[in-house]
């Protein structure tokens, strides 16, 4: 069974590379490289069970279609499996992200089995591997470009404030297109502010509360207008006032069971697995 492994170092934060990897906008046409990838339509990042369609040029003028489904998605990469095609019996792809001091090491591993016995294997040696390398090269360029764009984008920050196993959520009151939908406290990072400054300011303005900001949560989340939403775990600071809805229609502390049932803004829906993980008691994660 042929296996191909390539590595690349991408100079961006791990959460930004994780976002670029799953970003539907990364799946651009690159006809010059003989690759056309298209993620099924929808907002933001791809999640588990979603699919990507490819057309890959195997010989001059000869393109073959491939459809691949993401079987696992997480902070450290994803796995996908392609539907059997005219040439492949099985095709699997695993991408692993590993932060290093010099950027994020992206390792791609593709393994496949061909049809047509020895003839298929010969064609594979002559053509298949070169095609696979070309596809991975195109993906790597797209990943770098998108990671650079996302890293430079205007930022919105959101706070996942957890208390007693519940997450603080807010119901937007404006603009009309999103009024009534749920989000996390936060807002735009103003120039000269750090993410932490912006989160503390937004929580004071929106909730009348003081928060302590902790670790990042989930990948960066591209928003329709070109900015990026970055989430952080947070707790109410000691002595803080009880949060109230200053600008929103209402607040709710939701349990893990209630989380999926809220009408979340689209971007937030992508990180529901990570939000669930924050609400799980620590001891259930051990072992």
Ligand X SMILES: Nc1nc2c([nH]c(=O)n2[C@H]2C[C@H](O)[C@@H](COP(=O)(O)OP(=O)(O)OP(=O)(O)O)O2)c(=O)[nH]1
- Binds ligand X by CB under 6 A, chosen from 73, 97, 229, 254: 229
- Binds ligand X by CB under 6 A, chosen from 223, 228, 234, 279: 223
- Smallest gap, in angstroms, from Cβ of residue 117 to ligand X? 52
Burial class (CB in 10 A: 0-12, 13-18, 19+), 41: exposed
- Smallest gap, in angstroms, from Cβ of residue 182 to ligand X? 8
**228 scored as a contact of ligand X (CB under 6 A):** no
Alpha-carbon span 123 to 100, nearest angstrom: 38
- Smallest gap, in angstroms, from Cβ of residue 232 to ligand X? 11
Secondary structure element (H or E) that encloses residue 144, with its range: helix 129-152
Backbone φ, ψ for residue 225 (5° rounding)? -80, 0
Token representation of residue 16: 């930004």
For ligand X, which stretch binds (CB under 6 A), given 11-19, 103-111, 136-144, 178-186? 178-186
- Binds ligand X by CB under 6 A, chosen from 106, 110, 136, 184: 184
Nearer to ligand X, 63 or 196 (CB): 196
> DSSP secondary-structure letter at 32?
G
Distance of CA 208 to the CA centre of its chain: 31
- Binds ligand X by CB under 6 A, chosen from 43, 103, 120, 187: 187
Q: Are 266 and 243 contacting, i.e. CB atoms less than 8 angstroms apart?
A: no
> DSSP secondary-structure letter at 1?
-
Give 3-state DSSP helix, strand, coil % of the chain, rounded to 5.
30, 40, 30
Q: Are 25 and 146 contacting, i.e. CB atoms less than 8 angstroms apart?
A: yes
- What is the footprint of ligand X within residues 39-78 (CB under 6 A)? none
**158 scored as a contact of ligand X (CB under 6 A):** yes
**268 scored as a contact of ligand X (CB under 6 A):** yes
- What is the footprint of ligand X within residues 88-147 (CB under 6 A)? none
**188 scored as a contact of ligand X (CB under 6 A):** yes
- Smallest gap, in angstroms, from Cβ of residue 262 to ligand X? 11
Token representation of residue 172: 């937007």
Give the residues lining the site for ligand X (CB under 6 A): 156, 158, 183-184, 186-188, 223, 229, 265, 267-268
């Amino acid at each position: 069974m042929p296996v191909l492994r390539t590595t690349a170092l991408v100079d961006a934060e791990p959460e930004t590379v994780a976002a670029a990897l799953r970003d539907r906008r990364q799946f651009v046409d690159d006809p010059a490289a003989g690759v056309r990838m298209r993620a099924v339509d929808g907002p933001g990042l791809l999640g588990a069970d979603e699919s990507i369609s490819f057309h890959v040029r195997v010989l001059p003028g000869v393109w073959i279609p491939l459809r691949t489904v993401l079987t696992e998605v997480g902070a450290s990469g994803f796995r996908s499996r392609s539907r059997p095609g005219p040439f492949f019996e099985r095709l699997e792809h695993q991408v692993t992200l590993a932060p290093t001091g010099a950027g994020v090491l992206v390792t791609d591993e593709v393994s496949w089995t061909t049809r047509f016995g020895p003839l298929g294997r010969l064609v594979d040696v002559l053509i298949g591997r070169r095609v696979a390398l070309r596809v991975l090269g195109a993906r790597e360029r797209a990943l770098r470009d998108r990671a650079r764009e996302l890293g430079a984008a205007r930022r919105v920050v959101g706070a996942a404030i957890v208390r007693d196993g519940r997450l603080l959520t807010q119901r937007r009151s404006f603009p009309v297109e999103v009024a009534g939908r749920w989000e996390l406290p936060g807002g735009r990072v103003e120039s000269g502010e750090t993410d932490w400054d912006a989160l503390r300011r937004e929580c004071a303005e929106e909730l009348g509360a003081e928060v302590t900001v902790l670790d990042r949560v989930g990948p960066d989340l591209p928003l329709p207008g070109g900015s990026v939403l970055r989430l952080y775990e947070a707790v109410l600071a000691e002595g803080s006032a009880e949060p109230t809805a200053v600008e929103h229609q209402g607040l709710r502390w939701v349990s893990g069971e209630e989380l999926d049932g809220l009408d979340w803004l689209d971007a937030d829906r992508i990180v529901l697995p990570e939000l669930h993980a924050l609400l799980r008691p620590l001891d259930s994660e051990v072992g």
